[in-house]
Amino acid sequence: MRILALVPGGISDQILFFPTIEGLKAQFPQSQIDVVVEPRAKEAYGICKSVRDTVVFDFKGRNSLADWGNLLGMIRDREYQLALSFDDRWSTGLLLWLSGIPTRVGAASGPSDLYLTSSVVLDSEKQSTGKRYYSVLKSLGITAPYQDPIVNIPAKDLGWAEVERRRLAVKAGSYVLIWGQGDGTAASYPAEQWGTIIQDFQKKQPDMPIVLADRISSKWIGNLTQSFPNLKVTSPTSLGQTVALFAGASLSLCCEGPEMHLAAASKSFTLALLSSTSDPRVLLPQTDRVIGIKSPSPQISDISPSMILEKIWGG
């Protein structure tokens, strides 16, 4: 069976869609699954072993008729038997109808319903984002229980992480990893507040290395290394390298964003800093290995260091 999924959104949205992919693969083990994603999200499928191909399409861009025509032509050429759509616009629904795919399922949430063969009403208030995606599989008779997102770390990235840990002089399972920036300025935590946390940590656990991570050279890291010269610094260049570093950490501290989901999926003990507008029950796995700390405001900078330290030492 050839299956196509259309999943708008960024990297975080794709990671939360991974359980649905695994549910499809478990039900149809010989299937070939392709995903249509926005350019900013394509990289996510480098850590998902069950997707054959990714097709890049800017769902919210100013697409011309030629852009839609090219996508339609590709879909028709590949002769998919099943499509899952999470884009509720009528234009995407019409595209799938014109494609000739016989089974078209998705969320009952907008004009695209007219063009689906089956739609599922999602509980947006109580279910996690991953479970909302997964609930669409009910229309296909898939009743296996939902599993939290898992990632596939490529061997080359595992090798890179091992070499990087040797460079940093840290051992797997024996370091704290801090990813101090998130999606946008509202999801960034100030260096001076990280400094308070680091100072307390070094006082209570002086032999535990602390690693600062970011994919670019960041000002927050520079500020902290000036105050704490013994901090380690790493700059992974891919999602695979990033999740491999998280997998080796004894504790990960992350701001809201893709890295938060990678840390949780790596099975590292994770503290995630969230804004007041985000619900940890919706975004995070419900496990004692992952704890969400919610800001009293839309700015996660309003989470006090004492709130974080309380979770580290008491949680």
From first to last of its 315 residues, the chain has per-residue pLDDT tens of: 999 999 999 999 999 999 999 999 999 999 999 999 999 999 999 999 999 999 999 988 888 899 999 999 999 999 999 999 988 888 888 899 999 999 999 876 667 777 888 887 766 656 788 998 999 998 899 989 999 999 999 999 999 999 999 999 999 999 999 998 766 667 789 999 999 999 999 999 999 999 999 987 678 899 999 999 999 999 999 999 999 999 999 999 999 999 999 999 999 999 999 999 988 988 899 899 999 999 999 999 999 999 999 999 985
Kindly report the pTM of this predicted structure: 0.91
Q: Quick one: which of 219, 157, 159 has its CA closest to 192?
A: 219
At residue 85, φ and ψ (nearest 5 deg) are -125, 130
pLDDT of residue 282: 87
pLDDT of residue 183: 63
Which residue in the block uniquely carries the two structure tokens 């990289």?
43
pLDDT of residue 216: 73
How many angstroms separate the CA atoms of 81 and 133, rounded?
19
Cα–Cα separations (whole angstroms), residue 1 to 5, 32, 51, 99, 155:
13, 6, 13, 16, 28
Q: Quick one: which of 76, 83, 59 has its CA closest to 5?
A: 83
pLDDT of residue 225: 93
Q: How buried is residue 309: exposed, middle or buried, by Cβ count under 10 Å (0-12/13-18/19+)? A: middle
pLDDT of residue 187: 75
Cα–Cα separations (whole angstroms), residue 107 to 8, 119, 137, 148, 257:
13, 5, 10, 20, 24
DSSP letter, residue 197: H
Residue type, 296: P
To which H or E segment does residue 33 belong?
strand 32-37
The overall longest dimension of the chain from CA atoms, in Å, is 64
pLDDT of residue 149: 94
Q: Which two tokens stand for residue 239?
A: 């999602």
Cα–Cα separations (whole angstroms), residue 283 to 16, 132, 257, 314:
8, 11, 10, 23
pLDDT of residue 118: 87
Domains of the chain: 2-140 (3.40.50.2000), 155-314 (3.40.50.2000)
